[in-house]
Structure 1
Amino acid sequence: MGLIIDVPTNLGLRPPTPGCVPGADKAPQALRAAGLHVALREQGWIESSPILAGRYCPEISPGQVRNQAAIIEHARRLAFRITQALGRGEKPLVLGGDCSTLLGVGLGLAERGRYGLIHLDGHTDFRHPGNASQPANLAGEDLACAVGLHYPELSHIDGLGPYFEPRDVVHAGCRDGDAHLDEARRRLDAVISASQWMAYPRSTLADIVDRTAHDGLDGFWVHVDVDVLDPDHMPAVDSPDPGGISPALLSEALAALWPRAVGMTVGILDPDLDPAGQYAVQVATIILEAVTTDSEQAAEPI
């Protein structure tokens, strides 16, 4: 049974301009206004209460990321909700919010066993204290954190890090000029740039799906930042970069991955940059098409 969990957080993002706060925390409500929640409930999904985040604070303390204490507290509450849902046999769809949500997802999965991660994002999100002088925004550092490379307070909450073993992680969708592309390729099971994906769409998707079947995994999670899409299709994000994939490619990937996954996160849509709501409708449509794919058909080999 599908479970909707709204996670309206902006804690991992930098201020868009001085004195302003990011708008990604409004994304779950924008997706609700686009009709996603009603459409899923009509198909038998249930809806959990939202997991609210602490107050956003733009200041940074030395040796910490912005909003670090609030992020850790929020991660523990999301992790608890994830473990509860999976224990009941439910399949969570986590609607962020910024991608600091990966911390809570990873923490919850690590409490249950060994899980893989498919990380679909326009950036590797691989900044960490080992390659940056002052990591500050977890939304650009979430993948590095999830594989154990960040400050111990973040990467090893309750002694459970790394939440995903690097060998169990596939990233796809970053741009060729990503600052941490080479390091991510050295450390992770696979890293596939957006240009590679677009050049070889069928073989790339087959490769991603094949890598979800590693021996010893208890399952895998799909994490989607909608900035994996090209800004021509999705400009309503905090860090739009040209060279992204099309909505059709993302839809195809999610339709193949969702039936096999234990859950999925979708985030980084910023409704402040989408006053007409058209991009929220696009994201809602992609999600709905993926999670309502016939499971038997989607489970066939690519």
Structure 2
Amino acid sequence: MLQIAIIGVPFDGYGRAANQTLAAQAIRDAGISAAWAPLEVVTDEDILLPAQSPERGTDTTLVNESALIAMTRDLTVRVAGAAASEAFPCVIGGDCSSLLGIMAGAVQTADRVGLLVLDGHEDTMPLDVSEDGEAANTEIGLLLGLTGKTLRGPLAALVPTVAPGSLAILGPRDDAWRRRFNVASAAGLGAYVRDATAVASQPGQVAREAAEFVTRSNQRWWMHVDLDVLDPEHFPAQGVPDVPDEPGGLSPDQLSAVMASAARHPGLIGISLVIYDPAQDADGACARTIIRLVQDLAQVLAGSR
């Protein structure tokens, strides 16, 4: 039976002491361990991070730099360790910048690892034009090596490289925002990219194509779910409080269908679920949405392993 290793990430992309730092515990409290049944959760613990800081760092220009570097180091070790023990890592909490450590750990298990991203944004913002210094807008660009020349310090040595032909991005709806900064789509580099409208129209087919794409040159692959791929009407606990979220996006049923269809493809080695703010989820409805997504995925993995 597949064994699950839950890894909590108490990191906030804006350096706040609460908000996303509390996401992992809120998801635990909502019942994620039970949601993985009939699979067995064998470990469940948070990584350890220094105090959050809203200041932008001198090496990366990104907010919360010390915690970002520590998160990347610790996730590298945790993900690689889980894979070495043949457990299935489930990373919860934090934001998309967790992918830097996740992929660094994943590539220790194989020469190349594919990456399927479900996200409302492509996250390829160059470091030198980032408005707010949020790392979660930049991580795909860093993994693709697009901003490598401007990245200095310890993080530069930690970030692995993902080839565009090993990357699929499903669900972005940020074309207008990227155009403001003259940032092209990763599709132009050779990645498989389908926007939210295309995914919503054929979730199963697009998911299968994406999983096939990221495994053309890789036997193993990771699934990353940024929950802002969901329509804020269905999942309001995304983004920043009092700042309007981008309209549109997938419904929970559509996202579940994509995750399930992709997960039936061989070689999936782990999943991450990020961008959830319990402070914007007073009645726990968004946490319950996350639990339902995990329950649906667990049934697929239990039936295919």
Output the CA distance in 2 between the equivalents of 1:271 and 1:190. 32
Check conservation: 2:38, 2:298, Cα contact below 8 A. no
Written as runs of structure 1 = structure 2, the 5 A alignment for 1:231-242 is: 231-238=232-239, 240-242=245-247
Written as runs of structure 1 = structure 2, the 5 A alignment for 1:91-106 is: 91-106=88-103
Q: Gaps spanning 5+ residues in structure 1: where?
A: none
CA drift at 1:47: 1.9
1:40-95: CA deviations, max 9, x gaps?
A: 36642212321132211111144521122321122111111111111111111111
Written as runs of structure 1 = structure 2, the 5 A alignment for 1:274-285 is: 274-285=281-292
TM-score where L is the length of structure 2: 0.86
1:149-196: CA deviations, max 9, x gaps?
A: 3315476424x631x212210001110535337332212421111012
- What is the match of residue 31 of structure 1? 27
Output the CA distance in 2 between the equivalents of 1:206 and 1:228. 18
Q: In 2 relative to 1, CA 285–133 (structure 1 residues): closer, same or farther, beyond 3 Å?
A: closer
Q: Which of 246, 264, 272 matches 1:265?
A: 272
Asked whether 1:69 is paired with 2:66, we answer: yes
- What is the match of residue 230 of structure 1? 231
Q: Which of 237, 240, 250 matches 1:245?
A: 250
Aligned residues: 289
Output the CA distance in 1 between the equivalents of 2:38 and 2:130. 49
* One-letter identity of the residue aligned with 2:172: C
Output the CA distance in 2 between the equivalents of 1:129 and 1:97. 20
1:245-282: CA deviations, max 9, x gaps?
A: 11111101111233531100001110000011111011
Output the CA distance in 2 between the equivalents of 1:203 and 1:37. 30
* One-letter identity of the residue aligned with 1:46: V
The SS at the match of 1:292 is: helix
Q: In 2 relative to 1, CA 14–257 (structure 1 residues): closer, same or farther, beyond 3 Å?
A: same
* One-letter identity of the residue aligned with 2:55: E
Asked whether 1:59 is paired with 2:55, we answer: yes
* One-letter identity of the residue aligned with 1:187: L
Q: In 2 relative to 1, CA 279–101 (structure 1 residues): closer, same or farther, beyond 3 Å?
A: same
- What is the match of residue 128 of structure 1? 126
Output the CA distance in 1 between the equivalents of 2:74 and 2:142. 18
| Identity across the alignment (%) | 27
The SS at the match of 1:241 is: coil
- What is the match of residue 203 of structure 1? 205
Asked whether 1:289 is paired with 2:293, we answer: no
Output the CA distance in 1 between the equivalents of 2:280 and 2:130. 30
* One-letter identity of the residue aligned with 1:213: T
- What is the match of residue 157 of structure 1? 157
Output the CA distance in 1 between the equivalents of 2:280 and 2:156. 34
Superposed CA RMSD: 2.4
Q: In 2 relative to 1, CA 198–88 (structure 1 residues): closer, same or farther, beyond 3 Å?
A: same
- What is the match of residue 45 of structure 2? 49
TM-score where L is the length of structure 1: 0.86
Query: Greater CA deviation, 110-119 or 145-154?
Result: 145-154
Q: Gaps spanning 5+ residues in structure 2: where?
A: none
Q: In 2 relative to 1, CA 253–201 (structure 1 residues): closer, same or farther, beyond 3 Å?
A: closer
Output the CA distance in 2 between the equivalents of 1:201 and 1:257. 10
Q: Which of 131, 139, 144 matches 1:142?
A: 139
Q: In 2 relative to 1, CA 275–134 (structure 1 residues): closer, same or farther, beyond 3 Å?
A: closer
CA drift at 1:135: 6.6
Check conservation: 1:258, 1:291, Cα contact below 8 A. no
Q: In 2 relative to 1, CA 133–10 (structure 1 residues): closer, same or farther, beyond 3 Å?
A: closer
- What is the match of residue 87 of structure 1? 84
The SS at the match of 1:48 is: strand
- What is the match of residue 190 of structure 1? 192
* One-letter identity of the residue aligned with 2:157: I
The SS at the match of 2:175 is: coil
1:102-123: CA deviations, max 9, x gaps?
A: 1110111233321010010111
Output the CA distance in 1 between the equivalents of 2:49 and 2:160. 22
Q: In 2 relative to 1, CA 169–135 (structure 1 residues): closer, same or farther, beyond 3 Å?
A: farther
